[in-house]
Amino acid sequence: MKYAAVKRAYDLLSPAYDLLFDRIFYPGRVAAVSRLRIKSGQRVLELGIGTGLNLPLYPADCRLVGIDLSRQMLRKAQERVTELGLANVRLLVMDATRLSFADNAFDHVLGTYVISAVPDPVQVLQEARRVCRSGGSIVILNHFKSENRVLGAFEELVAPITTRLGLFKPDLALGPLLEQAGLTPDQVQRVSGLNGWRLVPCINRK
């Protein structure tokens, strides 16, 4: 998967993204933001904020920074910020593998439906750990390779196609990813009623 392909794919998807993905993934997004347990004044980073579907779910008294590689997606997110009258949100075009934030800059980091849509998911999670303070939450919501042999084989079969298109990597395995990134989940749970979709909350232990 290449960054140019990812950016192109999501620039093209931006006009229809909300229609395609809002309702079906809503329960998972609610659960993911809830698991952050955000307190007043805390600093939150959302990786791959996209069109800002998660924005209404955050408490108004936190300080939120959302980043994305796609300018088109961020334009939609900015429209949502304006519509909701959010004064606590900052949106930036940024590569999640090279975050331009200081160490320990955030209390929490969230990535919903993004970790399999980046070329280097391990590096993204390592950067998330770097910018998240010790004891802070790193919550991942994503599709991971199914443990069912038949479904897992199918995901491996279609992976070259979706990866080449810059959409996502359906055969990303959760266990090796967390091990390489140095993360240990509190409890992995299935979300959205769909096979392979997992909510993975972690405490950043440095």
> Tell me, what's the pLDDT at 75?
94
> Tell me, what's the pLDDT at 206?
78
> Tell me, what's the pLDDT at 25?
83
> Tell me, what's the pLDDT at 45?
98
Low-confidence ranges of the chain (pLDDT < 50): none
Instruction: Give 103-128 pLDDT, tens digit per residue.
Output: 999 999 999 999 988 989 999 999 99
Q: What is the pTM of this model?
A: 0.86
CATH superfamily of 3-203: Vaccinia Virus protein VP39 (3.40.50.150)
Domain ranges of the chain: 3-203
Q: Within 13 Å, how many C-alpha atoms sit on residue 27's CB side?
A: 9
> Tell me, what's the pLDDT at 196?
73
> Tell me, what's the pLDDT at 2?
61
User: How far is it, in rounded angstroms, from Cα 119 to Cα 206?
Assistant: 25
> Tell me, what's the pLDDT at 7?
56
> Tell me, what's the pLDDT at 119?
87
